[in-house]
């Protein structure tokens, strides 16, 4: 569905490429998670998908088509992306924001037969119906995240990509968000989430891609990727991986560094 094929991206003036020769895919019907330390290139891959950074080598394909050959609008009808940060320059009602997800589908002068229905449906799925009349500048960080998720669902694409969708969410909303993403995947969409929440990822994702300094350090099922030796090397921090008592998914426990008294 979405495939990054040996992608190399270098920002102007940077000493090394932000990502180098990265290949990964997000298949339909699966929740794919991209994890890795800060600066490992996760968001750069998302921005390359949106054509916000040029690739030096390789390409990003959506449904087989190179994104650089698609119009920006075509791309937005195939993949719904929730970028890491966005803020309306002028506050609007939440429902108006969610309805922006319909923009790629609207006719030249705004005709969109499914629009209102899709917006209500997306709001129901994301559990934000009670927030729709609120102003975007009055939402909490977590409410805003959920509204943004609703916007992406309203876009009704076969693929959905989210850059850190659970930032600012409490435990219950974090779980609910991942349940929702897994549910979208079960219903046949390709779902890709960039996340720092390794323990959630290991419970929900079908596939985990671990990035390290712009390259793929590990790629496989949560069991294959969530190994202490791999994670310790990438995150440069002592940790143990155990099993969560409820469902037996691998669970990461970072350790405190022993204090040295020289």
Partner 1 sequence: MLVLVAVLGAAALVALAVGPVAIAPAELWRVLAGGADPVTRAIVLDVRAPRVALAVLVGASLGLSGGVLQGALRNPLAEPYLLGVSGGAAVGAVVVVSMGGTDPSLLALAAFGGGLAAVVVVIWVARASGFQADARVLLMAGVVVGAFANAVIMVLLAGAPAEAARGALWWMMGSLGAAEWRDVARLGLVLALAGPLLLHWARDLDALALGHDAAAALGVSPERAGRQLYLVASLLAAGTVAAAGLVGFVGLLVPHVARALAGARHRAILAVSSIAGATLVVGADLAARTVRAPSELPLGAVTAVIGVPFFLSLLRRMR
Q: Could you list the residues that contact partner 1 (CB under 8 A)?
A: 12, 47, 50-54, 71-77, 80-93, 96-97, 100-101, 103-104, 106, 108-110, 135, 137-138, 155
> CB 1 → partner 1: shortest distance, Å?
17
Q: With contact defined as beta carbons under 8 Å apart, do 189 and 160 qualify?
A: yes
> CB 73 → partner 1: shortest distance, Å?
4
Question: Is 78 or 203 the residue whose CB approaches partner 1 more closely?
Answer: 78
Helix (H) or strand (E) holding 74: helix 72-78
Calpha distance 156→262 (Å, rounded)? 59
> CB 105 → partner 1: shortest distance, Å?
9
Question: Is 88 or 183 the residue whose CB approaches partner 1 more closely?
Answer: 88
Q: With contact defined as beta carbons under 8 Å apart, do 66 and 40 qualify?
A: no
Q: With contact defined as beta carbons under 8 Å apart, do 52 and 225 qualify?
A: no
Question: Is 77 or 215 the residue whose CB approaches partner 1 more closely?
Answer: 77
Question: Is 100 or 176 the residue whose CB approaches partner 1 more closely?
Answer: 100
Question: Is 88 or 188 the residue whose CB approaches partner 1 more closely?
Answer: 88
> CB 18 → partner 1: shortest distance, Å?
14
> CB 52 → partner 1: shortest distance, Å?
6
Closest alpha carbon to 40 in 62, 14, 18? 18
| DSSP characters over 156-200 | --SEEEEESTTTT--HHHHHHHHHHHHHHHHTT-EEEEE-S-HHH
Entry field: residues in the chain:
262
> CB 102 → partner 1: shortest distance, Å?
9
Question: Is 4 or 97 the residue whose CB approaches partner 1 more closely?
Answer: 97
Tokens representing 16 are 């090394």
Q: What are the CA-CA distances from residue 171 to residues 38, 176, 178 (Å)?
A: 22, 8, 11
């Amino acid at each position: 569905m979405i495939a990054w094929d040996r992608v190399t991206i270098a920002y102007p003036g940077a000493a090394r490429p932000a990502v180098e020769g990265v290949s990964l895919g997000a298949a339909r019907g699966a929740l794919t998670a991209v994890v890795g330390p800060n600066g490992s290139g996760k968001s750069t891959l998302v921005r390359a998908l949106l054509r916000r950074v040029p690739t030096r080598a390789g390409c990003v394909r959506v449904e087989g088509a190179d994104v650089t050959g698609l119009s920006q609008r075509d791309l937005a009808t195939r993949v719904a992306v929730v970028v890491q940060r966005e803020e309306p320059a002028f506050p609007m009602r939440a429902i108006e924001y969610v309805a922006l997800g319909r923009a790629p589908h609207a006719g030249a002068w705004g005709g969109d037969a499914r629009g209102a229905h899709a917006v209500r449906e997306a709001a129901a799925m994301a559990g934000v119906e009670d927030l729709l009349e609120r102003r975007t500048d009055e939402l909490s960080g977590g409410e805003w995240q959920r509204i943004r998720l609703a916007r992406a669902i309203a876009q009704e694409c076969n693929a959905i990509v989210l850059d850190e969708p659970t930032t600012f969410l409490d435990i219950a909303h974090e779980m609910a968000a991942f349940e929702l993403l897994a549910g979208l995947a079960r219903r046949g969409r390709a779902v890709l989430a960039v996340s720092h929440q390794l323990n959630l990822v290991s419970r929900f994702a079908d596939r985990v891609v671990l990035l390290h300094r712009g390259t793929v350090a590990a790629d496989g099922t949560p069991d294959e990727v969530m190994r202490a030796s791999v994670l310790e090397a990438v995150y440069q921090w002592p940790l143990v991986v155990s099993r969560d008592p409820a469902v037996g998914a691998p669970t990461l426990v970072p350790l405190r560094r022993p204090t040295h008294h020289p």
